[in-house]
Structure 1
Amino acid sequence: MKMPSIPFFLSVALLASSSATAYTWPSPQYDALEKLLYEGRRLDGQSMSDLASGCKARPGGGNVAAQWLRFAFHDFATRDAAAGTGGVDASLFYELDRSDNPGSGLAAAANEYLLFASKYVSRADVVAIGAALGVTSCGGLNIPIRGGRIDATAGGPWGVPGIDQDIATHTARFATAGLNPTEMILLVACGHTLGGVHSTDFPNVVSLARGQAVLQQFDTTGTKFDLKVASEYLAGTTRNPLVVAANVTLRSDARIFNSDGGATLRSLVASSPAQALASCNNVLAKMLEGVPKETVFTETVKILPAKVIDPRLTVENGHLIFHTDLRLTQAIGTNAPSNRIVTLSWCDGRGSTANCTRTMNTARAAATSQPPSSPVGLQEGFYFNQYSFRVPISSTQSVGKFWFTVKDGSTTKTFTNGGAFYKLKQDNVIYAPRLAQSLNIGSHHHGHGLSSRSRQQVVVGIRSELSPSKVFVNSIEVANSVTELPVKSTTQLTLSQSIKPAGGYKFYSGTIHANTDGLTFDVGAIIGGITYTEDYLTPQLSTLISYTTPSVVSAFIPSV
């Protein structure tokens, strides 16, 4: 997406620092980050972006996006840039009881974020993605996001700027965090174009009205990311409670906005709306990338025009099945051609015809769906079409490399993973969810509400000719509360006496006790001293889709 020019007072060097490395599958961390950012949902489909889309208000008052953005700032604010410590590291989860982190909105955000951290997406990355989703949902620009943030396991130092502090203290605190005085003004203005002050959280700033709680917004369009907070301040019409509070000591926004005589805000308001939003975009990106020095960022997470999803072998109804999906972007305002043909092609992985010796296989998509597109994805100008394949496979042939072709009338595109092709990592160990059962054994109170704790049966297939020394499940549950870590456990599986061999595999089963809301796990086996795994799974069964009968054609590998 082409970005508007940036006003002179804010450097764009930060954005140029992102890695230019091209995406190559497999990249499970990138795939998980891309899904959460552009589809707005986690692996099992539960949506994070739905919580904030449309600049949604929170029941009982408040704006979700504003609270998510405030959460990111409070996490960042105690950073020591010179020392390389603190910043957006999720330490705020352990600091919510401190006096410098008042407000029920921070606790609400923490409980929401808890649900979306996973093996490949840290809590700190969720904090950054949440801020980006919130800003975009209210009309701001997409903030560039990189993953790889490291989660703190305890609270960090005190020091979030307080509304009663003088300008020298504020300036020094922001400088320690890595922001100069101009960036301080911009960050406060951009952060306070959304939301407001709750009387229940700050009764010394906003009074109750007839005994009822009140939310006084920072500007007249508190649910729109439009910088009215700046123009109304300059016009003298502002009702920003941190500018007009009866107690002058509590007018922190007034002190910050006027710290350079209003020059930064005047420049911001004088620029075009697109330039003003871009200025916010950049200072917010700098905040979200203020992280501990040990952090190793991914490349900037960009929408994948063609994304291969969940390629796996499994057993269903006694047959070995290869299933995978191809997700394609589609420009908003357009439809995929009605005559589109999406084809999966693959080589056998075993036997005399492996590596497309004499033959290769093809199958057309068995079903089409439209995954959701988050506000970030929609602002990029795209929605998604997803094409699903379920193909019977012989275990003596298995699956080697595979690729896709998309034929739209006279135009054909081939997707070969940049010439490297897509390849199953291994086929010695497979996950067989349709042979498993989930039995609910009651509920317990979870940190984010009442959640179901289940006895979850897991079934793993091992090629019949192999003899594993160990078959196991490594599971990861979301944490039980914001001050706890995710729950990790390992369960050993045993050869099933009730599930008959099928599809060239014998089956091992076991039971894990877990909160299934947000549960992911890896299954694996040690065979001949080598560990084979299937990675990042959920217990949910795949959607029932008709099998596609493959065709076998003369060998051909697309040019790359």
Structure 2
Amino acid sequence: MRFFLFLPFLLLRAQTSLAIVPFYPWLSSLWHYEDLLYLSPYFNTAKTNRTVNGSVIAAEWVRVAYHDMANANVGAGTGGIDMSIAFELDRPENPGQGLKDALNDFRTIYSPNVNMADSIAMGVVFALASSGGPLIPFRGGRIQVNSAGPLGVPQPQESLESHIEAFRRQGFSTTEMIQLVACGHSLGGVRNPDFVNMVPEDGVHKFFDSSQATFDNNVITEYLDSTTQNPLAVTQNATFRSDLRIFNSDGNKTMQAYVLPLFLYLRSDFSSLANPDAFASTCATVMEKMINTVPSGVKLTEPVEPAQFTVARMFLTAQAANQTQISVTTRWLNPSSNNKVTIFWSDKLHPSNCSREICSATAKTMSDQPVEPVSFAPSMLAIINPHRFHKFVFSISSTVVPDKFWFEVEDSAVKSGLFIGDNGGQGFTRADNLDVFLDTVRTTEATTDSSLKFVVAVRKSNRPSKISIEYVDISADAAPDFNPNIGTKDFSLDSSIAPTFEYEFWTAPVPVLFSTYTLSVVRDGKSIILDENQILADRVNIL
């Protein structure tokens, strides 16, 4: 049984009241956090469950987060999850290719709204959820530094007193130290050549427990029944048995609390609940504390919960028959079995021509699982499919200038009648009213194994003076600080693409390996952002 913390309460209440479900403005920073947590084209289960050179990726993501946080001084209000680890990889306390691999993973999801520090924290959420562990609440808003912090990661050869002091500095009690080490060592292990004193055999891995890719309490049960092969507990060189010293620092009371039957636990004075569920719950608490360790002046957001209704994706293409095809995918939380979603739009130039019957389309239900994109976020799977996806594909006249879209949801779970999804009363709007937009079909058709040409449709009657794209280029080798490389290209008219009645087509070359992009136009001396931090539907599995 998994512990999902705030989610059971949220989902229970969502059946009777929509008021408690958060609203995140479309394309805001909170929208991006929510979108990544519950759709996640980059942090999907296939990524976190993969193994590279014998190393479990989920374990590497947890490890890089702790090593980033470990030089925090909570009393002084400094350090924490802040990306300083990128400048500390040459230190003896940070050995191993795994830290670099994890940072490269997070580099691919960078956007102005989700920096590398937030990505590291989000990686822990996904690592645990994808390996069978608890779903940790995520808060955004971390700062990202551009320099190394002080030394601070405890090393296996250090004394117990040194470890206790290091964890105290980080804000953890001795009991929490035991818990955090046990939770972190539920995944992965130690490998040569990172720790030759513990793993002298060339290329060999020694794992912390017998289920190194599954989050469970085997690291504890095997320790207690003396079957453990945890190198930090049984390595021949006793100096490096840091797990043994830490686990036994309170006479094994904390460790035993995780395996006691409930009736014995109730008669004990242990502070933890019992059994594997207790382990998951306790780990969720200490891991959340770890990723929320930030400098004293940083204020994190409230936990990012799944939204009741959101527009997940919108794609456009100009058709030859003077039509613009619009594809929209929405997500609806905790649906009944017979819900129906309808999209409406208004015509800025001819509002009287846009009746409810004319300017509307009904969606088809895609399924309770994500279909577009086809990746699965571990957190989406962990909350047992509480969303239903609806997809709209319809065409409007190219002469129509839709200044906003909105949605009506008919669902028996909504006790007060229709639910109106209108982006907090603002409508879902596109800043340029379809005068310029990425032509999704033409862009994806231009994709090859070695090149990518972005194609935008430009209304001939209202040409801008400039169109540009800013993209996250992940094709180049990582920079020394593992920050992504941001590229910019200007578009120009492409005479090789036949114009339609309303639109001509401009193109710009972009490297094949990119993550997100932002389109902007300049008109009358003013710059307008069109698509902020978007992705292409078939280019989501790029790690």
TM-score, with structure 2 as normaliser = 0.80
Structure 1 residue aligned with 2:219: 229
In the alignment, is the contact (CA less than 8 A) between 1:466 and 1:527 conserved in 2? Answer: no
2-side partners of 1:68 and 1:541: how far apart? 26
1-side partners of 2:444 and 2:281: how far apart? 51
Offset from partner CA, 1:159-202 (integer Å, 9 cap, x none)? 21100111222122222222222221211111112222224322
2-side partners of 1:220 and 1:541: how far apart? 39
In the alignment, is the contact (CA less than 8 A) between 1:524 and 1:532 conserved in 2? Answer: yes
Q: Secondary structure at the match of 1:74?
A: helix
Which one of 469, 475, 498 corresponds to residue 471 of structure 2? 475
Structure 2 residue aligned with 1:126: 119
Q: Secondary structure at the match of 2:491?
A: strand
Alignment of 1:29 onto 2:29: yes
The aligned runs of 1:6-155 (5 Å cut-off) are: 22-42=22-42, 48-53=44-49, 56=50, 58-155=51-148
Q: 1:436 to 1:248 in 2, by over 3 A?
A: closer
Structure 2 residue aligned with 1:558: none
1:382 maps to amino acid:
N
| Cα displacement (A) at 1:66 | 1.7
2-side partners of 1:352 and 1:329: how far apart? 32
Q: 1:542 to 1:179 in 2, by over 3 A?
A: closer
The aligned runs of 1:161-560 (5 Å cut-off) are: 161-208=154-201, 213-270=203-260, 271-272=273-274, 273-293=276-296, 295-311=298-314, 314-317=317-320, 318-329=322-333, 337=337, 341-353=340-352, 361-365=359-363, 368=366, 370-371=370-371, 372-382=375-385, 384-407=387-410, 413-417=418-422, 420=425, 422-426=427-431, 427=433, 428-436=435-443, 454=451, 456-461=453-458, 463-466=459-462, 468-478=464-474, 480-481=477-478, 483=480, 484-497=482-495, 499=497, 502=500, 504-507=502-505, 509-512=506-509, 514-536=510-532, 540=536
In the alignment, is the contact (CA less than 8 A) between 1:367 and 1:387 conserved in 2? Answer: yes
Structure 2 residue aligned with 1:11: none
Q: 1:498 to 1:187 in 2, by over 3 A?
A: same
Q: Secondary structure at the match of 1:150?
A: coil
Structure 2 residue aligned with 1:556: none
Structure 2 residue aligned with 1:445: none
2-side partners of 1:107 and 1:2: how far apart? 31
| Cα displacement (A) at 1:377 | 1.6
1:243 maps to amino acid:
A
Q: 1:423 to 1:408 in 2, by over 3 A?
A: closer
| Cα displacement (A) at 1:324 | 1.6
2:478 maps to amino acid:
S
Offset from partner CA, 1:382-412 (integer Å, 9 cap, x none)? 1654322233223554224433344569987
Offset from partner CA, 1:248-304 (integer Å, 9 cap, x none)? 221111222233333333334443332321111010001011124454433322223
1-side partners of 2:223 and 2:55: how far apart? 22
Count of residue correspondences: 500
In the alignment, is the contact (CA less than 8 A) between 1:153 and 1:485 conserved in 2? Answer: no
Q: 1:470 to 1:72 in 2, by over 3 A?
A: same
Structure 2 gaps, min length 5: 7-19, 261-272
2-side partners of 1:409 and 1:289: how far apart? 38
Structure 1 residues 358-367 or 383-392, which shifts more?
Answer: 358-367
2-side partners of 1:410 and 1:157: how far apart? 53
Structure 1 gaps, min length 5: 6-19, 442-451, 544-560
2-side partners of 1:61 and 1:144: how far apart? 29
1-side partners of 2:40 and 2:504: how far apart? 37
Q: Secondary structure at the match of 2:212?
A: coil
Offset from partner CA, 1:311-334 (integer Å, 9 cap, x none)? 465423342233321123568xxx
| Cα displacement (A) at 1:502 | 3.7
Offset from partner CA, 1:37-65 (integer Å, 9 cap, x none)? 223423xxxx5421224xx5x24323222
Query: C-alpha root-mean-square deviation of aligned residues, in Å?
Result: 3.4
2-side partners of 1:532 and 1:503: how far apart? 25
Q: Secondary structure at the match of 1:353?
A: helix
2-side partners of 1:255 and 1:487: how far apart? 43
1:203 maps to amino acid:
V
Q: 1:420 to 1:111 in 2, by over 3 A?
A: same
2-side partners of 1:240 and 1:281: how far apart? 22
1:322 maps to amino acid:
I
Offset from partner CA, 1:105-148 (integer Å, 9 cap, x none)? 22332332332323332222222222222212222110111223
2-side partners of 1:60 and 1:505: how far apart? 50
| Cα displacement (A) at 1:436 | 4.6
Structure 1 residue aligned with 2:14: none
2:330 maps to amino acid:
L
1:138 maps to amino acid:
S
| Cα displacement (A) at 1:506 | 4.6
| Cα displacement (A) at 1:231 | 3.5
2-side partners of 1:187 and 1:160: how far apart? 14
In the alignment, is the contact (CA less than 8 A) between 2:4 and 2:383 conserved in 1? Answer: no
Q: Secondary structure at the match of 1:190?
A: helix
2-side partners of 1:4 and 1:519: how far apart? 31
2:247 maps to amino acid:
F
2-side partners of 1:101 and 1:357: how far apart? 63
1-side partners of 2:84 and 2:494: how far apart? 44
2-side partners of 1:166 and 1:251: how far apart? 10
- Identity value in percent: 32
2-side partners of 1:48 and 1:251: how far apart? 35
1:147 maps to amino acid:
G
Q: 1:2 to 1:361 in 2, by over 3 A?
A: farther
